[in-house]
Structure 1
Amino acid sequence: MHSAQPALCSGHDPLRLARAGMSRLVEPTDPTAMLLLAALGPVAALEIATGSRPIGAGEHPVFVCAAAEAGYGPRQADLRRALARWAPRAEQLDPSADLAVAARAGAWFAVPEDPDWPAALADLGLFQPVGLWGRGDRRLLGFRAARAVAVVGSRDCSSYGRQVALDLAGALAARGWTVVSGGAYGIDQAAHSAALATGTAHPATVSVMACGIDRLYPPGNHKLLRDVEATGLLLAEVAPGCTPSRYRFLQRNRLIAALSAGTVVVEARWRSGAQNTAHHADGLSRPVGAVPGSVHAGTSAGCHRLVREGTAVLVTDLDEVLELVQPLGAAPAPDRPAPRSVVDGLSDPDRVLLDALPLTVPSRPDHLSRVAGLSAREVLGGLHRLEARGLAQATGEGWRRRR
């Protein structure tokens, strides 16, 4: 049995150090590790997982009982197999060093015992994160998942998909909803960008990463992720320095789903990570929406599949997304006011019209009238008032919101 002793002697409290160590040592969905953690707590779990000491005579029955109650058999509760799996990482485990690396990157480490830990993550049960490494204003970590929507989709999105993501995410953010996504190219990129441009919630957007918090991945989104950090949150469950990989992308998708009231898949191929996020959301009893596309477009095949299989409801605009994520008959939560420089002095109908204006593809007044629930006269008058304030722009094809 391995006998390395993790570096736990520092100014950090033992519980936080133990969770930081476990986040480096084990994979987030390793059932043996999560059972050990749930049954015995982080400090004892790390000591046993690193081979610093054997599991105690009184601890073993507790561990086995926890495994049985969770529906896991002897193989998942086989510590010898697990210890052999964890031993290579245990040799150089130093959670104090990981915390120092995070601090140098301007990051922090949150644990489930913290008062601001996102309560929605408890819905993941055994596979709640060991901890969360984050960048951005730590005070935003307690944001309400009930007022957040995940907007996800293909990295190689079409121009249609990108425009839809911009419109939906921008409209959600303008209504005071937090937009959660994965920081990748394509649909994720559009969702974060739109939320940053129009957001009135705190945070406007959250990116859940599949790599260490000290890395901004993908490199091409470096500026975007910096902007997210400046006004929102970057989150990761793996330790600093960890590289992104396919299985880590799939693992983190459960966090995107759990941190949101619902998930909207804008575009997805027949087999894709966005579909994986949708299935996580469905497993958590969170509603899933899918945007339709051309039957000839491979980038929409996954969306059509989700609808056909009954996992998702077809959605095409903001109102349908809000109908999806807000309980039937429930009064909508009050929207946060937009910045004073934008809406100060606007009448209620003009504010509603401003929310209805798309960011990219222009919309005709008759369509805006249906979306905003206003009369044609209110829409036409409101458009000219918004144009005079520099908030709306007329084009040959209709009207859109001025950036």
Structure 2
Amino acid sequence: MMTDTERRAWAYLARVAEPPCVSLTALIAEIGAVDAAAAIARQQVPRGHESVLRATRARAAEDRSASDLEVAHRCGARLITPDDDEWPGFSLLALAQADTGERGGVPLALWARGPARVDDLAAASIALVGSRAASSYGEHVTGLLAGELVDHGWGIVSGAAFGVDGIAHRSALASGGPTMAVLACGIDRDYPAAHSRLLAEIADRGVIVSEYPPHTTAARHRFLTRNRLVAALSNAVVVVEAGARSGAVSTAAWAVKLGRPLGAVPGPVTSATSVGCHELITDGRAALVADASAIMTLARPDGVAGPDHGPARGTDGLTPVQQRVHDALPGRGAVTIEEIVFSAGVEIGEVRAALALMELGGMVAMEGSGWRLP
């Protein structure tokens, strides 16, 4: 159980730098959240972490952790950190592994509002995204796809925007399924305001997620940053409609970077809202999908481990080396790196690299001088 001091430290760190901040994540990984918060507040960090000072200097002196947690509590939200069971570590592992740059790293923490568990929904969901100015064709197709996917046990992830996003959420709810809305603003804000009722329904039956602390306003750069989470917190991304410069195309680009299966729905050749989909298909970045069956095949090409066949396992996406290292850890207790090397038959450098990535994903933990399963 996390202490109040630790929770306050995470809340402070979640605001002190504009998300995501790779240098801050690295500092926390080395010295822990409580010590990292104290170091940032003093603006004195261990050698080798000086870059984090530039990212935190503007906000370091103001600690709003208590008020942020109180606002979250009042609106029924919670702060989820890598130390919490609900942390979607496996889904976010792709962000740690991909070469995404400073602006594309793993979120420091997530604010969530709603009864659905973020980790469970991320493990069995499809992202449906598209144009805000959706055509009647796009709205119709989105509704059909979302409803059929929910009927087969999938959840729906989207960004709560007008057009395709809103239809995807509404159709999932109407079909009795779970849905996740990923916001580019504070968890206490309804954006867009016209979707306040929809967001209330999602918060009542699904979950709303943001890496931005309460009171944070929506901004263009935050939408672009948010798109990586829509891709990461899903098993596949499907673009239903998109203009040539649509935000959905940005989400599609993140899907490619993160190795998420990408599909696009073809539309009329005369439709400006299908230009982006056609380009994704023509360039070979996206598979052409026309129904839910094609999407499910895209997400689970082996035909197993989908929602209809039981929940996905947290180790399904590990590399062969990571799987061997993971299998070398006992069900109880911790073992040294040397013991893992011997049991897995993997060189020590590869073991260290595998453990570091899996630790970021919350799949292993360090205990003293050894390693164990969380």
Tell me the TM-score normalized by structure 1: 0.70
How far off is 1:263 after superposition? 0.5
2:40 matched residue in structure 1 = 49
How far off is 1:242 after superposition? 0.2
1:125 aligns with 2:96: yes
Q: Larger RCO: Structure 1 or Structure 2 (Cα < 8 Å, ≥ 6 residues apart)?
A: 2
1:295 aligns with 2:246: no
- Given the alignment, which residue of 204, 210, 213 partners 1:230? 204
* Deviation >6 Å, runs of 4+: none
| Residue type of the alignment partner of 2:137 | Y
1:304 aligns with 2:278: yes
- Please say if residues 176 and 335 of structure 1, whose CA atoms lie closer than 8 Å, have aligned partners that are also in contact: no
Q: Distance in 2 between matches of 1:244 and 1:319?
A: 35
1:17 aligns with 2:1: no
1:36 aligns with 2:7: no
1:176 matched residue in structure 2 = 153
Aligned ranges for residues 1-400 of structure 1 at < 5 Å?
Answer: 13-50=4-41, 52-56=42-46, 60-61=47-48, 63=49, 78-79=50-51, 82-119=52-89, 120-125=91-96, 127-137=105-115, 140-200=117-177, 204-330=178-304, 332-334=306-308
**Structure-2 change in CA distance of 1:131 and 1:326 (3 Å):** same
How far off is 1:86 after superposition? 2.6
Local SS of the residue matching 1:45? helix
Q: Distance in 2 between matches of 1:239 and 1:33?
A: 16
2:331 matched residue in structure 1 = none
Q: Distance in 1 between matches of 2:216 and 2:121?
A: 28
- Please say if residues 175 and 335 of structure 1, whose CA atoms lie closer than 8 Å, have aligned partners that are also in contact: no
- Please say if residues 187 and 266 of structure 1, whose CA atoms lie closer than 8 Å, have aligned partners that are also in contact: yes
How far off is 1:333 after superposition? 4.0
Superposed CA offset, 1:319-355 (max 9, x none): 111111112353654269xxxxxxxxxxxxxxxxxxx
Superposed CA offset, 1:120-173 (max 9, x none): 123221822111111111x62331534210000111111111111111011111
- Please say if residues 102 and 213 of structure 1, whose CA atoms lie closer than 8 Å, have aligned partners that are also in contact: yes
- Please say if residues 153 and 307 of structure 2, whose CA atoms lie closer than 8 Å, have aligned partners that are also in contact: no
| Residue type of the alignment partner of 1:162 | E
How far off is 1:268 after superposition? 1.0
CA-based RMSD of the aligned residues comes to: 2.0
Local SS of the residue matching 2:194? helix
- Please say if residues 182 and 226 of structure 2, whose CA atoms lie closer than 8 Å, have aligned partners that are also in contact: yes
**Structure-2 change in CA distance of 1:306 and 1:39 (3 Å):** farther
**Structure-2 change in CA distance of 1:309 and 1:48 (3 Å):** farther
Q: Distance in 1 between matches of 2:13 and 2:278?
A: 39
How far off is 1:93 after superposition? 2.3
- Please say if residues 94 and 259 of structure 2, whose CA atoms lie closer than 8 Å, have aligned partners that are also in contact: no
**Structure-2 change in CA distance of 1:331 and 1:177 (3 Å):** closer
| Residue type of the alignment partner of 1:122 | L
Local SS of the residue matching 2:57? helix
**Structure-2 change in CA distance of 1:335 and 1:166 (3 Å):** farther
| Residue type of the alignment partner of 2:163 | G
5+ residue gaps, structure 2, are: 98-104, 311-374
Greater radius of gyration (CA): 1
Q: Distance in 1 between matches of 2:308 and 2:43?
A: 53
| Residue type of the alignment partner of 1:93 | D
Local SS of the residue matching 1:194? helix
**Structure-2 change in CA distance of 1:295 and 1:124 (3 Å):** same
How far off is 1:259 after superposition? 1.1
Q: Distance in 1 between matches of 2:88 and 2:211?
A: 13
| Residue type of the alignment partner of 1:315 | V
Identity %: 42
Local SS of the residue matching 1:189? helix
**Structure-2 change in CA distance of 1:84 and 1:270 (3 Å):** same
2:342 matched residue in structure 1 = none
**Structure-2 change in CA distance of 1:29 and 1:140 (3 Å):** closer
Local SS of the residue matching 2:180? strand
Local SS of the residue matching 1:88? coil
Q: Distance in 2 between matches of 1:268 and 1:111?
A: 33
- Please say if residues 88 and 118 of structure 2, whose CA atoms lie closer than 8 Å, have aligned partners that are also in contact: yes
**Structure-2 change in CA distance of 1:312 and 1:118 (3 Å):** same
| Residue type of the alignment partner of 1:123 | A
